[in-house]
Amino acid sequence: MMIRTLYTLLLALIAPILLWGLYRTKPGKPNFGTRWKEHFGLTPRLTTTTDPIWIHAASVGEAIAIVPVIKALKQSYPEQAIVVTTTTSTGAEQVAKLGDLVEHRYMPIDFSWCVRGFLKTIKPRLLLIVEKELWLNTLSCVHNQKIPTIIVNARLSERSAKRYHSFSFFTHQLLNKIDKILCLHDDDAQRFIDIGAQQHQIAVTGSIKYDITIANTVFEQAQSLRQQLGKQRPIFVAASTHQGEDEQVLDAYQLVQQQFTNALVIIVPRHPQRFDSVAKLAIDRGLNVHRRTDTTPIKANTQLYLADTMGEMLVMLATADVTFMGGSLVGEKVGGHNLLEPAAVAKPAITGPSFYNFEDITQQLLAAGAIEICQDSHQLALQLIALFNDPERQQKMGAQGQRIVLENQGAVDKTVTNISPYLTNH
């Protein structure tokens, strides 16, 4: 109890800063409107009276990752209501794309009174947390009401494991409130055990991120966009870039231009509020920019195509010849992004040296010859030039990546199998 009290006092001190970051207005960021009250446990009732499964997906990445599981659960339990919570408005925007499959609510702040207000209104039968969004008061309130909690697609890097080890008194409080941890890989499972999880809590299901289904419309849209951009032009896409990374991508692009004067780069910023600043950055360098949301025809001299929309990553990846995956050239603060998406559409990929969030996936793709690692913008440019000069190698790397994806699919079925006993025994 003492730990929770100290934790709550600390949270009260930092909550104003967290809320300021959450609510401040940014270009391209949807407003919360009157729904801000949901963060404080003032949650509207659901349209159904059936005890729902509560799925928490903090933001866009988690909301996208859990979609295959939601669809599989609905297929197995068509009458089962599902409510998905996100913390961010961009995550809410992603959940809205699921239509009538789920209802969306905002996640209450991790004060007990906020969480209890949410639980009183929603009355969930089961909580699924995507990846590793663990909040002490939320887990405690849910546990006290005898609602089972399952962590889905759980991963734990060595770096995070060391941090949890340093606060073992706090970590044990968290782990004791969790019924099941569905891990990506054996080493994730071992790290959870090392920090205090019990063997019976752990199952290895694989990553649901391998279970990528590519709709035919993705390739159709990519083919159409490629026709507009120029079929013969060398094109690379910089996906999920962060602040400080776009400059490096443009440095690499301008080096590539010295050998391929007609080369084009597609940039997909990770956060929509950065669309305008990335466009300005390129224009200030004298580049010709065309934005995805611009309905005018794409000009032949376009050098940067800015993907200023959400949910079209696969289309952009399938359009390009080569992919650079962002979040990997900005030091240690991000830790890379998922390289399985370019692999799924059979595209060769390059990542920077920081990929600790996807260590296993990256090493697996690297061993298969599907990706390369660059240390800086200069090496990125050299790797792009080499790949543009070797279409056969592009094709071989893409095929190897796609093979890895297909060989590792099946995690969604394993995940649903582990969830099912908590639904059938209710």
Per-residue confidence (pLDDT) for residue 88, from 0 to 100: 87
Lookup: tokens for 207: 């990553």
Q: Is there a contact between 290 and 299 (Cβ–Cβ < 8 Å)?
A: yes
Taking only the tens of pLDDT, the chain with its 426 residues reads 678 888 889 989 988 888 888 888 776 677 888 899 999 999 999 987 779 999 999 887 788 889 999 999 999 999 999 999 999 888 888 898 889 899 999 999 999 999 999 999 999 999 999 987 789 999 999 999 999 999 999 988 888 888 888 888 788 888 999 999 999 889 999 999 999 999 999 999 998 888 888 999 999 999 999 999 999 999 999 999 999 999 999 999 999 999 999 999 999 999 889 999 999 999 999 999 999 999 999 999 999 999 999 889 999 999 999 999 999 999 877 888 989 999 999 999 999 999 987 888 899 999 999 999 999 999 999 999 999 999 999 999 999 999 999 999 999 999 999 999 999 865
All structural domains of the chain, each given as residue ranges with its CATH number in brackets, are 21-211+409-424 (3.40.50.11720), 216-407 (3.40.50.2000)
| Helix, strand, coil percentages, rounded to 5, for the chain | 50, 15, 35
At 180, the amino acid letter reads K
pLDDT score at 28:
64
pLDDT for res 287: 97
Give the pair of three-digit tokens for residue 48. Answer: 């159904």
- Looking at residue 19, its pLDDT comes to 87
At residue 208, what is the residue type? I
Q: In which element (H, E) is residue 396 found?
A: helix 391-407
Q: Which tokens sit at 179?
A: 């019924």
**Catalytic residue ranges:** 62
What is the β-pairing status of strands 264-269 and 304-306? parallel
Q: What is the dihedral of CA 347, 67, 157, 132, to 10 degrees?
A: 160
DSSP string over 334-385: S----THHHHHTT--EEE-S--GGGHHHHHHHHHTTSEEE-SSHHHHHHHHH
The DSSP letter of residue 88 is S
End-to-end Cα separation, the chain, in angstroms: 29
Q: Rounding to the nearest 10 degrees, give the CA dihedral for residues 179, 182, 185, 186.
A: 30
Check residue 46 and report its DSSP letter. Answer: P
- In angstroms, rounded to a whole number, what is the distance separating the alpha carbons of residues 391 and 194? 46
Other Cβ atoms closer than 10 A to 168: 12
Q: Is the pTM of this model over 0.75?
A: no
Tokens representing 362 are: 């990256």
pLDDT at residue number 127: 97
CB atoms under 10 Å from CB of 420, counted, come to 13
Q: Is 327 left (phi over 0), alpha (psi -120 to 50) or beta?
A: left
Where helices occur in 167-274 by DSSP H, the ranges are: 168-175, 186-194, 216-229, 246-256
Contact between 356 and 404 under an 8 Å Cβ cutoff? The reply is no
HEC assignment per residue over 187-211: HHHHHHHHCCCCHHHEEECCCHHHC
Could you tell me which of 17, 29, 18 has the C-alpha nearest to residue 270? 29
| CA distances to 5, 15, 139 from 11, in Å | 10, 6, 15
How much is the pLDDT for 425? 62
Q: Considering only CA atoms, which of 268, 390, 365 is closest in space to residue 325?
A: 268
Are the C-beta atoms of residues 422 and 150 closer than 8 Å to each other? yes
State the Cα–Cα distance between residues 418 and 47, nearest whole angstrom.
27
